[in-house]
Amino acid sequence: MSLDTAELENYFLERFTTRFDIQSQLSLLFLLIGEKPGAMIMFVDESKEELLKEFCRDFDLNFQKKESDIHQIFYVTMDEKYFDLLETVEDEGSFYTKKSMGKFLGYPAEAIDFFVQNSGNLRLRDDMREKIDDMIENGDLTRENSYLLDLVMFTPELTHKGVKNAVEIGERRRELLRQFDRQHDTELGDKILEKIFNRSKPYFRTV
């Protein structure tokens, strides 16, 4: 797929910046460069919906819209076949199973299992931060590398191995963004990485 760099920069460096959080932007960018089979964009209101639909048209993306009682969710993919991964919860036609969502979003198998087991765990992000702090304190992880976890967009299993594997994925994705910049003569990837690493602390996304 040929990408129009100027158009990408218009979306990701201007139009998306006040509408979508950095994790949503990363999901869509990784989708476009072939790193993820699908992206899930949550809390889509009417103005966001029009912008997202325009983005999908411009880059030939497919989407499905699901509505809950409080907000809309968009599932976006380059190939419609990936929608077949999504399995509806029995008797709840507007919701997909956690396991099928993990597959659609490209989570590793162990991360899907952890995602399913911890659905509804309100302490998950706090537990994640405690694990990271412990690993940094013990010298098993640098604080700078902890920011790489924001590039994986899933919560890893909270073990030494689980976190280390996630950091490796983050390192690979950071290099993908840098490679994208070199190949397309842009600073888009670098500017997104700058937003991630300039935070006062990592976000540690839990969905």
Mean pLDDT, all residues of the chain = 90
The one-letter amino acid code at 25 reads: Q
Evaluate if residue 84 carries a pLDDT over 90: yes
pLDDT per position as a tens digit, 11-20? 999 999 999 9
Find, among 193, 123, 19, 30, the residue nearest to 40 by Cα: 30
**Would you tell me how many other CB atoms lie within 10 Å of the CB of residue 69?**
5
Higher pLDDT, 203 or 122: 122
pLDDT of residue 37: 97
**Every domain of the chain and the residues it spans:** 1-106, 108-207
Find, among 193, 189, 40, 20, the residue nearest to 106 by Cα: 40
Report the predicted TM-score, pTM, of the whole model to 2 decimal places.
0.90
Cβ atoms of residues 36 and 102 within 8 Å: no
pLDDT of residue 204: 58
pLDDT per position as a tens digit, 86-96? 998 866 555 78
What does the H/E/C string look like for the chain?
CCCCHHHHHHHHHHHCCCCCCHHHHHHHHHHHCCCCCEEEEEEECHHHHHHHHHHHHHCCCEEEEEECCCCEEEEEECCHHHHHHCCEECCEEEEECHHHHHHHCCCCHHHHHHHHHCCCCCCHHHHHHHHHHHHHHCCCCCHHHHHHHHHCCCCCCCCHHHHHHHHHHHHHHHHHHHHHHHHHCCCHHHHHHHHHHCCCCCCCCCC
Helix axes 160-184, 109-117, angle to 10 degrees: 120
pLDDT band with cut points at 50, 70 and 90 for residue 67 = confident
pLDDT of residue 95: 79
Cβ atoms of residues 193 and 180 within 8 Å: no
**Would you tell me how many other CB atoms lie within 10 Å of the CB of residue 44?**
22
**Would you tell me how many other CB atoms lie within 10 Å of the CB of residue 191?**
14
